[in-house]
Amino acid sequence: SKLNLGVGAYRCDNGKPWILPCVKAASENIVKNNLHNEYAPIAGFKTFVDRGLKLAYGDDCKILNEGGVAGIQALSGTGALRICGEFINKYHPGGTKPDVYVPNPTWGNHIPIMEDSGLKVKKYRYYDSKTNGVDINGMLKDIDDAPDGSVMLMHVCAHNPTGADPTLAEWEDISKVCKKKGHFIVMDSAYQGFASGDPDVDAASLRMFVEQGHQIALCQSFAKNFGLYGHRVGTFSIVCDNAEEARKVESQLKILVRPMYSNPPIQGANIINTILEDEALTKQWFDDVETMAGRIIKMRQSLTDALVKAGSTEDWGHINKQIGMFCFSGLTPEQCDLLASDHSVYLTRNGRISMAGVTTGNVEYLANAMVGVRKKAP
């Protein structure tokens, strides 16, 4: 048997894709109500964008409620990031092109997206392989050493690929340094609700930065937390000074979008809007993300227990401390190669395990294989 631990999509405990019950119900409602298939506006459906941003920024976000956030529909997180890169390239104050700093490591697509937008990408320290956690001191120093007004790209929660997130106290320190340096913050939100099972907990870093006066850009994806991977649905938004500035920024965003992809697809937006406008379906969504997050958290503990059962004497506590879809296991590239050749277990060579691929039926096989390759290539 083969075990695929590289895919970045949720699987149920039978290893199969899972259609969220709220998504299924919303899709049935759309068919029943015979919603049209006309073009969406360039900026997407406003009701969807408004509800999506409310989910991210929170019901009590003052600047959002005052109309001071410019937001448009985007082609999931990737499309939002590309719009962001193009916007920074074209409209950065003074006509200069700031360097974009990304965590080391980060999601592989961050770098080509920003480079293809005409921006230079640099890295700040993020992960400490000795502790299998966040290198907060290195991160703070690199952010502080970066030129004033640099762009800092950050993961809101469930950092990909490491699964290691700063604590709220550490986020406070990060915010202070960024504020002192005048950095422009780009937040990538791909896992709200999927990480902890609580969408409000998962949005804490984003909301903290906004409350502390950062005029962030937010790249919001609904692929993971709504299971709408193929629908390419998300939002892009920028926190502005006020509603008048937000209207001007949105106008410029539409100018960027028009020659890029004209307008966004409608089905995913209709599904999410149908869910978030209905109290019962919204509650069901909260239950659904808790189900997904709960299974991932359970599999983390099961893998840790299985490693001990398989005879490992190492400390695998980082598996439980990390959060979200991925686990940065600590396996070396050579050990990952052996997992593939000797055990037909496939994961990326940096040791990243997609915990969504771990089930009650294969967790012991995985643990035995991991212990085996650790012994064979220590």
- Going through the chain in order, the beta strands assigned E by DSSP cover 3-4, 69-74, 100-104, 121-125, 127-128, 133-134, 151-155, 184-189, 217-221, 234-239, 326-328, 345-346, 352-354
Rounded to 5°, the CA angle 154-156-160 comes to 75
| CA-closest candidate to residue 120, choices 95, 88, 94, 143 | 88
89: left (phi over 0), alpha (psi -120 to 50) or beta: alpha
**Integer Cα distance of 128 and 134 in angstroms:** 6
Rounded to 5°, the CA angle 16-20-23 comes to 135
Q: Looking only at Cα atoms, what is the longest distance across the chain?
A: 63
Sorted by sequence, the CB contacts under 8 Å of residue 186 that are 6+ apart come out as: 81, 84, 100, 151, 152, 153, 154, 216, 217, 218, 219
Asked about 171 being catalytic, the answer comes back as: no
Which of these is catalytic: 165, 202, 224, 288?
224
In sign, the C-alpha dihedral spanning 108, 186, 53, 281 is: positive
Can you tell me whether residue 52 is helix, strand or coil?
helix
Asked about 59 being catalytic, the answer comes back as: no
Asked about 60 being catalytic, the answer comes back as: no
Q: Answer for the pair 150, 98: CB distance below 8 angstroms, yes or no.
A: yes
Which of these is catalytic: 135, 142, 165, 188?
188
Q: Answer for the pair 264, 270: CB distance below 8 angstroms, yes or no.
A: no
* Single-letter amino acid, residue 322: Q
Q: Which residues are catalytic?
A: 107, 188, 224
